[in-house]
Amino acid sequence: MDNVAVVVDDLAAATAFFIELGLELEGEAQVEGAVPDRMTGLDGVRSAIAMMRTPDGHSRLELTKFLAPAAVGGGADAPAPNTLGLHRVMFAVDDLDDTVARLRRHGAELLGEVVQYEDAYRLCDLRGPSGIIVALAQRLG
C-alpha cells in the first residue's frame, strides 16, 4: 500500500493534528489539471495535499483539501463506526492517555471509551479533523 487519503476541510488543522500524533510532514503540493480530473472522474479538480509519513517510514497518509469542486458530506454526515466502507485509520501509540490528551487540544473527541482488550491492548476511537475517525492502539506488556 502506498498511502491512505483523507479529505479534510482545514488542511492546516489536520496537518497539525497528525503531527501531534507523531507523523512527519513529507511534503505539500497543489494538484490540478487533466490528470486528477481523469483519475477522479471530476471536472476542474484543484486540491492542496499534505503527505504525512509515519515515524517508522513504512506508511503514509495523504491529507487532501478540495479547493474545486467543493468537498461533500462531513460534519453531521460524517461516518459512524458502523458505516460501510473505509471509516477509520488506526495508529499504534506508546502512551494512549497522553496521546488522547494531546489530540484533544486539536479538537479530537472520544467516540466511546478507552477500553482494554484482554492483556494485549488499550484501544479507543476518536473523532478527528473533518469528522474522520482515528483509532489508537497501545500494546500492553
The tens digit of pLDDT for each residue in 37-93 reads: 998 899 999 999 999 999 999 999 999 999 999 888 876 667 777 776 777 899 999
pLDDT for the residue numbered 38 = 92
pLDDT for the residue numbered 75 = 66
| Grid-cell match 503540493, residue found | 29
pLDDT for the residue numbered 76 = 62
pLDDT for the residue numbered 1 = 81
The amino acid that residue 48 corresponds to is A
In a shared domain, residues 80 and 135? yes
- The three-class DSSP label of residue 29 is strand
Measured CA to CA, the distance from residue 123 to residue 116 in angstroms comes to 6
Nearest to 15 by CA among 135, 137, 128: 128
What pTM did the predictor assign?
A: 0.90
Integer-rounded Cα Rg, in Å, for the chain is 16
Is the pLDDT at 109 greater than 90, yes or no? Answer: yes
In a shared domain, residues 89 and 127? yes
Is the pLDDT at 19 greater than 80, yes or no? Answer: yes
88-92/133-139 β-pairing? parallel
pLDDT for the residue numbered 53 = 98
In a shared domain, residues 31 and 56? yes
Question: Per-residue pLDDT tens for 89-98?
Answer: 999 999 999 9
pLDDT for the residue numbered 80 = 75
In a shared domain, residues 96 and 129? yes
In a shared domain, residues 36 and 88? no
Number of domains in the chain: 2
Host domain of residue 83? 75-139
CATH number, domain of 51, equals: 3.10.180.10
